[in-house]
Amino acid sequence: MKQFEETVKFLKKQYKHKPQVGIVLGSGLGKFIEAIEVEKEVAYENIPHFPVSTVQGHKSKLIFGKLSGKTVVAMAGRFHYYEGYTARDIVFPVRVMKLLGIETLLLSNAAGGVNPSFKVGDIMIIKDHISFFTANPLIGKNIGDFGPRFPDMSEPYKKHLIQKAKEIAAKNNFDVKEGVYVAVTGPTFETRAEYKLIYVLGGDVVGMSTVQESIIANHMGLDVFAVSVVTDVGIRDEENKITHEEVLEAAKHAEPKLATIFKELVASI
Ligand code: HPA
């Protein structure tokens, strides 16, 4: 707990107000930051005990400010298992955000579609996830101050937030999918056989993030909402090479829809 206390003490000195909502932005989805009335930015590299993000397309700073009249803290740039961090490192900032006072966590990510009805640019509200193919951040000694040894995961993404997000999409005349996110370690995109397997297992999209943050947030009793932007479709039979550039480009295009959902969701909280 000592590390957490040092980090929280440092951040409270930087920004006096208590954030109510935490936001984590996925690859190519950082433009959303512009929707936030920024009051304070702190680069990860200046925050004690914070890991530093290494991926292109990630800005690597913690942003404090107002969104839809609420005080929020947003991570521009998240940590991924494939970068070489431990699962515990990845979730360090989420625990810090909880200690700063957040009650709700909004997550976004770029993901590959495996449901054949999904198209590039679709937005999918995550209603459930499969985390077995990556590391669980709660492995190791349990920190009882954060939550129980064996946390319940029956509602990893809160139904009332999902319902609200669907209403927001309908009101703004855009379509949203709903489905299951399957987490993998990356950094390789999946083979054809792997995309097929993920679909057979009940997945609708596959990605390299989000579940560790969701698990840790659930452990601490936060309300979690998460959304994927489908940036490529892996299940096709034809020639189908996937690049990081293509993922970033598709994310950028779909970003306004995600921004609408997050803004209006925060207003409703
Ligand atoms: N697979 C895994 N992660 C991803 C993908 C994908 O196809 N697209 C974006 N993130």
Q: How many CA atoms lie within 13 A of 174 on its CB side?
A: 18
Domain ranges of the chain: 2-268
- Write phi, then psi, for 69 (nearest 5 degrees): 80, -5
Confidence of residue 252 (pLDDT cuts 50, 70, 90): confident
Superfamily of domain 2-268: Nucleoside phosphorylase domain (3.40.50.1580)
Predicted model pTM = 0.94
* pLDDT at residue 175, rounded to an integer: 94
Report the distance separating Cα 169 and Cα 252, nearest Å.
Answer: 18
Going by CA atoms, what residue is nearest to atom 3 of ligand 1? 207
211 lines ligand 1 (CB under 6 A): no
CB 224 within 8 A of CB 214: yes
The tokens for 87 are 């699962």
How do residues 19-76 score in pLDDT, each as one tens digit?
Answer: 999 999 887 777 788 889 999 999 998 999 998 766 554 558 999 999 999 999 999 8
Residue among 133, 181, 232, 235 whose CB has most ligand 1 atoms within 8 A, to mutate: 232
206 lines ligand 1 (CB under 6 A): yes
Position 219 pLDDT exceeds 70: yes
* pLDDT at residue 57, rounded to an integer: 47
Confidence of residue 243 (pLDDT cuts 50, 70, 90): confident
Q: Describe the chain by its helix, strand, coil percentages, rounded to 5.
A: 35, 25, 40
171-176's contacts with Cβ under 8 Å and 24+ in sequence apart are 171/264, 172/257, 172/260, 172/264, 174/123, 174/257, 174/260, 175/122, 175/123, 176/122, 176/123, 176/124, 176/125, 176/257, 176/261
If you count them, how many residues does the chain have?
Answer: 269
What does the mean pLDDT of the chain come to? 92
Q: What is the mean pLDDT of residues 205-220?
A: 98
Going by CA atoms, what residue is nearest to atom 9 of ligand 1? 111
194 lines ligand 1 (CB under 6 A): no
CB 137 within 8 A of CB 215: yes
- Closest-lying ligand 1 atom to the alpha carbon of residue 208: 3
- Write phi, then psi, for 247 (nearest 5 degrees): -65, -45
Position 112 pLDDT exceeds 60: yes
- Cβ neighbourhood burial of 59 (10 Å; 0-12, 13-18, 19+): middle
Residue listed under structure tokens 């379509």: 175
Confidence of residue 246 (pLDDT cuts 50, 70, 90): confident
How do residues 160-197 score in pLDDT, each as one tens digit?
Answer: 999 999 999 999 999 999 999 999 999 999 999 999 99
How do residues 67-111 score in pLDDT, each as one tens digit?
Answer: 999 999 999 888 999 999 999 999 999 999 999 999 999 999 999
242 lines ligand 1 (CB under 6 A): yes
Distance 7 CA to ligand 1 centre (A): 32
